[in-house]
Amino acid sequence: MQNFTSTSPASSDRVLTDRFGRAIRYLRLSVTDRCDLRCNYCLPKGFEDYEEPKNWLNFDEMTRLVGIFAQAGVSRVRLTGGEPLLRRNLPELAARLAALPGVEDLSLSTNATQLVKHAPALKAAGVKRINVSLDSLDKGCINTITGRDSFDSIMAGIMAGKAAGFAPIKLNMVAMRGVNDHEIGRMVAFCLENDFILRLIEAMPMGDTGRNAQYLDLNPVREQLVQQFGLIPEVAELGGGPARYWQTADGSGRVGFITPISQHFCATCNRVRLAVDGTLYMCLGQEEKFEFAPLLRGGASDSEILAALKEAIELKPERHEFKEQPGKIIRFMSQTGG
């Protein structure tokens, strides 16, 4: 089945599409499955089943593979983990990826605990935007969720990112019933005051930790925030991801809603995830995957890897089944890649 059209490697109309007609333009690249936090909806306490470093893709392999993705029309790349800032010399990789032809937007998802040390170098390397996980403005609540005394380092990292010139900075808040739902209005006000964009996220049943999270339907929350802050629908796309945005009447502030459970966005899914070991996952809520490490380390040519990529995209399912089969996915989010 032909799903890739290009008159030449430099063709401007190249596009990688799946069998449902969705253009795949967004790659989430995990540079490590390790994390310095233990968020209770992501990793269980005592978890040590990490990928062996010998199986990690090195920077040469990542750069080569992302270059092939870009040749196929993928223009947005996000560095993820685990916690990506735990990967040594990450700014070096960022600079290499930002320089690749076809990569138009390089961004980073982080918990910000290490961002004070790395923000200026990442900005200089070509990272344009950052998303930071921040589930609460209450120190005790954050420390409980993350399993660490992490609040101060997270907040310092966010402000370091702002000082370094990252814009926009998006704060990702997993909304959980009885845990932090009472803080949502406060979080919106905090983001509006500091020119951050808040993205509220429904907890997904990824592994036992995700299934044990206190799921909160965000549709009633959105209705409440619309009334409280006078929000109106945002037309412009912000970052090419799954969030649906609402803005303040004067356009100065925005709130995004990511609703994979109550109102899934599978019909417009434009992304795939590459784990640190070179496994490409087509969907968070399904098992379809393709392993690129054997090709990268087995002497395959770029054209052979490109052909394999086209075949891999054919595996992308139509939609997840989080509601129908919440116990289906046993791997944790950090193992998939952000």
Residue 41 annotated in ligand binding? yes
Q: Do 240 and 26 touch, CB atoms closer than 8 A?
A: yes
Helix (H) or strand (E) holding 272: strand 271-274
Give strand pairing partners of 173: 200
Residue 78 annotated in ligand binding? yes
Strands (E) across 151-265 are located at 169-175, 197-202, 232-233, 244-247, 254-258
Residue 191 annotated in ligand binding? no
Residue 272 annotated in ligand binding? yes
Residue 109 annotated in ligand binding? yes
Residue 8 annotated in ligand binding? no
Q: Do 109 and 80 touch, CB atoms closer than 8 A?
A: yes
Question: b/e string for 240-255 if b means 16 or more Cβ within 10 A?
Answer: bbbbbbbbbeeeebbb
Residue 141 annotated in ligand binding? no
What type of residue is 316?
A: K
- Radius of gyration, CA atoms only, the chain: 19
How many CB atoms are located within 10 Å of the residue 225 CB?
Answer: 20
Q: Do 285 and 204 touch, CB atoms closer than 8 A?
A: yes
Distance CA 113, CA 120 (A): 15
Residue 269 annotated in ligand binding? yes
Nearest residue to 159 (alpha-carbon basis) of 196, 122, 121:
196
Distances (CA, A) of 113 to 47, 98, 109, 128, 264: 20, 23, 12, 19, 31
Residue 301 annotated in ligand binding? no
Which single residue is written with the structure tokens 């393709």?
Answer: 290
Residue 39 annotated in ligand binding? yes
Residue 328 annotated in ligand binding? no
Residue 28 annotated in ligand binding? yes
Residue positions forming the annotated binding site for [4Fe-4S] cluster: 35, 39, 42, 266, 269, 283
Residue positions forming the annotated binding site: 28, 35, 39, 41-42, 78, 82, 109, 133, 170, 204, 266, 269, 271-273, 283
Residue positions forming the annotated binding site for GTP: 28, 78, 109, 170, 271-273
Residue positions forming the annotated binding site for S-adenosyl-L-methionine: 41, 82, 133, 204
